[in-house]
Structure 1
Amino acid sequence: MQARVNSSKQASERTFTENARRAQIVDAAVEVIADQGYANASFAKIAKQAGLSSTGMISYHFQGKGDLIREVVTRIMATAAEFIVGKLDTESGYRGRMLAFFAANLALVDEYPKHMRALSNIAANAGTDDPHLFGLLDQLGSNAAAQADILRAGQRDGVFRDFDPAVMVMAIRGALDAAIARAAVDPEFDAAATARELAEIFDRATRKDA
C-alpha cells in the first residue's frame, strides 16, 4: 500500500500530480468555507466540491482538517501578498505606497471575494482548534511588524508626523478588516470609493503637515 503523503514534505519534493491534487483540494476548501462557513466545511463537502469520489483522497494529502485549513490559510495569504505587492510596486515614496495600500487591499476583495470571505470566516469561527488560527495570527503579526517598520522609516525621513507606528498599523488594519467584512454582506459595497475615503482619512492622520 502506498504511504500517505506527509504534509510537512516540501512542495519541491512532491510530484506535479501531487501538487495539482493538493491545489484542487485547497481551492475546493476555499469555496466551501466561503459559501457554507468554517464549521460546515466537512471533508465530504470539500470532496464533493473538488469532484472527488471519496474523502480518502483528502486524507491521503492532508493529515486532518487542521492540516488542510493551515494550507488554505497559507495559500490565501500568499495570493494576497503577491497581489498587493504587485499593485504597490508601481508606486514610489512612503505616502504614495501607503495610500495605494488601501486601494490594493480593497481591489483584492473584488478580485478574490471568496478567498477573503473564507479567511474572515476561519478567523472568526475557528475557535480553539488552533491557538494561532492555523498560522494566520503569526502571518498577520509579521505583516504588521513590516508595515510598522515602513511607517517608522517614513517618520525618520520626515514624511510622516510623530505617532506610534504599531497603533497606526492597528488602526489601518482594523479599518480594512471592517471594510472587507462589509463587502461580504453588502452587494452595493463600492470597494474603490471606500479605498479612496480610507486613504484620505489615513493621509490626514499620518502626514507631517496635517
Structure 2
Amino acid sequence: MQVKREDSVTSTARRAQIVDAAIATIAEIGYRQASYSKIAERAGLSSTRLISYHFDSKDELISKAISTIYTDLAAFMTARVSAATTPRAALDTYIRSLVEHIAGHRAEMRAATEIFLNFKPEGGSAAQDAATDLTVLGHVEHLLVKGQESGEFGPFNTRVMAMAIQRALDGLPFLLEAVPDADLGEYGDELAWIFARATRP
C-alpha cells in the first residue's frame, strides 16, 4: 500500500529541492543521463528512495520540473507585459522580456530543451503539446488584435504574425546550444526592430 505523503512545509520544500536538482542535473548532463541517483546526489539526498517518496514516478518529477520552468517564465513575463500601456509597447516588452529571461536562465532553458526533445510521458502528452502551443500563440495573437483595433498595427493575418514572433523566440534556446556566446542583447534588439516594422500601419 502506498504511503500517503503529508502536505507540510517540510514536504513542499523537499519536493522543490528535488525539482531544482532535477532541472540542474538535466541541464548539466542531459535528460537521458539524469538518473535518480544523479538527481539525488545533486540534491544532497542520502537515498533515491526520498525521490520516490515525494514523486510517484519519474514522469511526475519531470512534469513538475517543466511546469516549474514555465511557471517562473510566465510570472516574469506577465509582470512586465501587463505594465505596458499600449499594444505596441506590450509587443516590444514581450519580445525583449522573453529574451532577457532566457539569457538569465540558461540552465533552465537547457533543461527545458532536453525535456522537450526527449520526454514522452507514459499515457500522457509531450512537455509542450499542441494545446499548450495554441494557448501561447493565443496570447500573442490577442495582443496583435488589440493593436490593430487601436490603429497601432497595420493589416495582417494575426495568427501568421503571432506564429512568426513566437517561433523566432522559441528558437533561441536551440541557438544557445549551438552558439553559447551569442549576443542575446543584440538578438532581442533585432527581433524587436523587425517586428516593430512588420506590424506598423
TM-score in same-fold range (> 0.5): yes
Deviation at 1:73, TM superposition (A): 1.2
The count of corresponding residues between Structure 1 and Structure 2 is 200
Give every structure 1 segment of 4 or more consecutive aligned residues whose post-TM-superposition deviation is greater than 4 Å.
127-131
SS of the counterpart of 2:103? helix
- 2:91 corresponds to: 98
Alignment partners' CA distance in 1, 2:85 and 2:123: 39
- 1:170 corresponds to: 163
- 1:203 corresponds to: 196
Equivalent residue in structure 2 for 1:25, among 11, 18, 29: 18
Matched AA of 2:141: A
Alignment partners' CA distance in 1, 2:181 and 2:85: 32
Please say if 1:110 is aligned against 2:100.
no
TM-score between the two structures when normalised by the length of structure 2 = 0.91
**CA shift in 2, pair 1:192/1:161, >3 Å:** same
Alignment partners' CA distance in 2, 1:168 and 1:155: 12
Q: Determine if contact 1:88/1:101 at 8 Å carries over to the other structure.
A: yes
Q: Determine if contact 1:161/1:207 at 8 Å carries over to the other structure.
A: yes
SS of the counterpart of 1:47? helix
Which moves more between the two structures, 137-146 or 33-42? Answer: 137-146
Q: How does 1:103-142 map to 2 (within 5 A)?
A: 103-127=96-120, 129=122, 131-134=124-127, 136-137=128-129, 138-142=131-135
Deviation at 1:123, TM superposition (A): 0.9
Deviation at 1:140, TM superposition (A): 3.4
Alignment partners' CA distance in 1, 2:121 and 2:156: 34
Which moves more between the two structures, 149-158 or 49-58? Answer: 149-158
Gap regions ≥5 residues in structure 2: none
- 2:8 corresponds to: 15
Gap regions ≥5 residues in structure 1: 6-12
Matched AA of 2:37: A
Using the aligned pairs only, state the percent identity. 35
Q: Determine if contact 1:106/1:180 at 8 Å carries over to the other structure.
A: no
What is the aligned-residue RMSD (CA, Å)?
2.0
Q: Determine if contact 2:15/2:54 at 8 Å carries over to the other structure.
A: yes
- 1:40 corresponds to: 33
- 1:156 corresponds to: 149
Q: What is the CA deviation profile of residues 147-174 of structure 1, one whole-angstrom value per residue up to 9, with x for unaligned ones?
A: 2112112112222122222221211111
Q: Determine if contact 1:147/1:169 at 8 Å carries over to the other structure.
A: yes
